[in-house]
Amino acid sequence: MRIFCASLATETNTFSPLRTDFSDFEQSFYAAPGEHPQTPTLCSAIFPALRTRAATDGFDLVEGTATWAEPGGLINAGTWRRLRDEILAQVRAAMPLDGVVLGLHGAMIAEGCVDCEGTLIEEVRDIVGSKTIIGVSFDPHSHLSDKRVQNADVITVFKEFPHTDFVAAGEACVDLTLRAIRKEITPVLSVFDVRMIEILPTSRHPMRGFVDKMTALEKAGEVLSVSAIHGFMAGDSPDLGAKIIVVTDNQHADGDRIAEALGRELFSFRGQTKPEFMSAEAALRKAGEAPAGPVVVADVWDNPGGGVAGDSTLVLQEAMAQNLTSAAFGTIWDPMAVRLCHAAGEGAALDLRFGGKTSAKAGDPIDARVKVIRNQRGAVQSFGSSVVPLGDCSVIRLGGIDVVLNSNRSQAFSPDLFTNLGIDIAEKKVLVVKSTNHFHGAFAEIASQIIYAAVDGPYPSDPSTTPYQRLSRAIWPICDDPHQRKPI
């Protein structure tokens, strides 16, 4: 048995002021063939899973490129062609193949290519032929096109948001692909279009129970796999929106029935899944008045994980206006400010302008007299078992507020974002993080309470008013009843 694997992943916010090129992949994560680390990244968990199975099952594993760029704006055409052609050339060189396993995100959009993942899978299929089994793992914040379903034999998707199960999803993809190659199963895909775009955190009900139901179906043997695509509202894709994927062992009718039942249940949750979003003023006032800390306040829309810059100053400005003390902010993306702080040195006091550089909607830059508390080269944070680079970082203090400035854009995943830089979170009353919900898994363990703050900014957070150009299907909340059947 001979299997090839590769990973090409990012999440494209087509409304972001940012642009993405090859340097963004290099800065975030790029591993040439054979150079993938032992620890997985969000979309490359298939690599360690396949290595483990190759060692125990005795097949030949051919590793291709694995790369990831922090979510951002439209990918330029040259970067997309370079990475696509690199992987396709590796597939050709690896032939003949019994299987191909791809770790993808699912929301990549480039200049001239709206469905990057669908195109890549289709072109891999053209190379390997119809008999080779192709397994694919996706992030739920993706766009599921017909092209992807028609050319893949196995599709698994992270069930959890926050994505605490990305390793399990990669392992499941590998396992089903191997079983299909050995003809132990005949995987068949069933898809139901939920026709909805909504924020669907699985750390709370009703989504918590929905994920548990999907898991129970798998454990009971009714399906080989079942997944929910949530969709990515900041990507202008014709396939925008939630969908259910069911993989059965050659039971297409049963798969279709289960997919539709789950899809209609998911549609019934519309408008009920989001946590309460407060204004920055109300969120920080509530946090400051809490009897105990640390209180975690999430700046949900200035989230680099959604493709925006992460340099908004609006929540920080409100904290300064409230004279908040004993607080830490993580992070504000400003590579130039980091350079200035490193040049000044730890302990230095300087007049610094930082933040608010990439969008007119992200607040004005802050001009303040700050003290440099910590400088660190190559800082990192953790996300489950993966390591997330923050680049060179500085911690500055203004009044009673510590601010982490980073040079690699990243949302907040773990408290070690702060502790790795010497910030004692136990002594802080308030921790402000830029993340929609991925922070929740790790921060819930140390937070006295969690508050979500919604501040208007560069992220298109209201689909009913977002100027989508490629969307032609009716979906909620743009349409009240997208499933309405017309009389015959």
Residue type, 417: L
* Range of weakest confidence among 138-147, 296-305, 456-465: 456-465
**216-256 pLDDT, tens per residue?**
999 999 999 999 999 999 999 999 999 999 999 999 999 99
Q: What angle do CA 238, 242, 247 make, to 5 degrees?
A: 105
Residue type, 381: Q
Report the mean per-residue pLDDT for the chain: 97
**Secondary structure of residue 35 in the 3-state scheme:** coil
Strands 133-138 and 154-157: parallel
CA distances from 128 to 45, 47, 135, 158 (A): 23, 20, 13, 26
**466-480 pLDDT, tens per residue?**
999 999 999 999 999
- Rounded Cα gap, residues 431 and 297, in angstroms: 6
* pLDDT class of 458 with cuts at 50, 70, 90: confident
Averaged pLDDT, 427-455: 96
* Position 258 pLDDT exceeds 90: yes
* pLDDT class of 485 with cuts at 50, 70, 90: low
- Rounded Cα gap, residues 379 and 390, in angstroms: 5
Q: Which residue has the tokens 């519309």?
A: 270
More confident site: 485 or 92:
92
* Half-sphere CA count of 34, side-chain side, radius 13 A: 1
Cβ-contact 188, 150 below 8 angstroms: no
* Position 2 pLDDT exceeds 80: yes
* Position 416 pLDDT exceeds 90: yes
CA distances from 308 to 19, 45, 333, 358 (A): 10, 25, 10, 9
Burial class (CB in 10 A: 0-12, 13-18, 19+), 132: buried
CB atoms within 10 A of CB 118: 24
* pLDDT class of 487 with cuts at 50, 70, 90: very low
**pTM to 2 decimal places:** 0.95
* Position 484 pLDDT exceeds 90: no
**143-160 pLDDT, tens per residue?**
999 999 999 999 999 999
**14-52 pLDDT, tens per residue?**
999 999 999 999 999 999 999 999 999 999 999 999 999
Averaged pLDDT, 81-102: 98
* Half-sphere CA count of 331, side-chain side, radius 13 A: 36
CA distances from 359 to 283, 405, 463, 477 (A): 23, 17, 20, 27
**110-126 pLDDT, tens per residue?**
999 999 999 999 999 99
Averaged pLDDT, 186-203: 97
Strand partners, 405: 332, 394
Strands 449-453 and 277-278: parallel
**136-146 pLDDT, tens per residue?**
999 999 999 99
Region at 128 (left for phi over 0; alpha for psi -120 to 50; beta for the rest): alpha
Residue type, 289: E
Q: What pLDDT shows up at residue 488?
A: 37
Q: What pLDDT shows up at residue 435?
A: 97
Residue type, 406: N
